[in-house]
Amino acid sequence: MASTIAPGVEHDKPKPGEPVLRCDSCAVRNRAVCGALSRTEIAQLNAIAHTKTFAPGQIVYGEDEDVHFFANIVAGAVKLTKALSDGREQIVGLQFASDFLGRPFRARSPFHAEAVTTSQLCMFDKAKFERLVREHQGLEHRLFQHALDELDAAEEWMLLLGRKSAGEKVASFLLMVAKRMHVIGCHGPSEGPQRFDLPLTRAAIADYLGLTIETVSRQFTRLKAEKIIGLEGARTVILISADRLRAAAERSD
């Protein structure tokens, strides 16, 4: 899941006399796709953008619904799900701050998108954003690379869904969340105990891992009993040993 988004162009501060843009103080200015744009281009994007806050459970896109905007996630977490007609549900993507939401040049959303924590989205009108994409190859390039990152993540998850045991799935999930919340690095050895909050309920974790709530809960208590993690309430995880968690994510015994 290595991010290969290239460092953007130089991000000029506003020159004396130039207007100050909201983007200048944006928390994800450099990590998000906007990083591909020059100051004048950012000004154009700024003109079509507006931010909106979504409460947990609030729907961003309905499945198969016409889409009229794209968005950068500024803060929070959004789950992307697909459902079978009888209600079975699978989370097919989990997006965090700086991720781009939406499928450029597609009319309909192939998934249901819903905020899982209070989330701030920086939204762009679809048609206007697509015009900007056509005019700036750098932006399309950045979106393309982001799509390839998502594809890598999806393939990694297919391996998990198809071939890992419940215990490995839950351990892998904890590692993924710790990484994406910048609690641990991608490859470094184990550090001291770290604490972080899970953005998802047990039900959502189950939908992400292709398991039931009960199985997820049992695996949490097992990891706790093995002293690989600690729990403070249901949502706060204390990472006791990142190394042993990595081992649990791919047991080869």
Partner DNA sequence: CGTTGACTTGAACGATATCAAACAGGGTGG
Partner DNA sequence: CCACCCTGTTTGATATCGTTCAAGTCAACG
Q: How far apart are CA 247 and CA 253, in angstroms?
A: 11
220 binds, among DNA, its own copies, none (CB under 5 to 8 A by kind): DNA
Nearest Cα residue to 94 out of 172, 5, 184: 172
- Closest to its own copies by CB, 23 or 77: 77
Nearest Cα residue to 171 out of 237, 105, 123: 237
Site stretch for DNA (CB under 7 A), options 114-122, 131-139, 141-149, 196-204: 196-204
The residue within the footprint of DNA, chosen from 122, 216, 228, 239 (CB under 7 A), is 216
- Per-residue contact track with its own copies, 23 to 62, x per CB under 8 A? ----------------------------------------
**Paired tokens of 14:** 């506003």
Nearest Cα residue to 55 out of 121, 124, 122, 126: 121
Q: How far apart are CA 94 and CA 102, in angstroms?
A: 13
**Which CA distances in Å does 204 have to 57, 58, 92, 137, 213?**
11, 14, 11, 37, 8
The residue within the footprint of its own copies, chosen from 47, 127, 147, 234 (CB under 8 A), is 147
- Under rule CB under 7 A, residue 21 binds DNA: no
- Under rule CB under 7 A, residue 106 binds DNA: no
Residues that bind its own copies (CB under 8 A): 4, 80, 82-86, 88-90, 92-93, 103-106, 110-111, 137, 140-141, 143-145, 147-148, 150-152, 154-159, 161-164, 207, 209-210, 250, 252
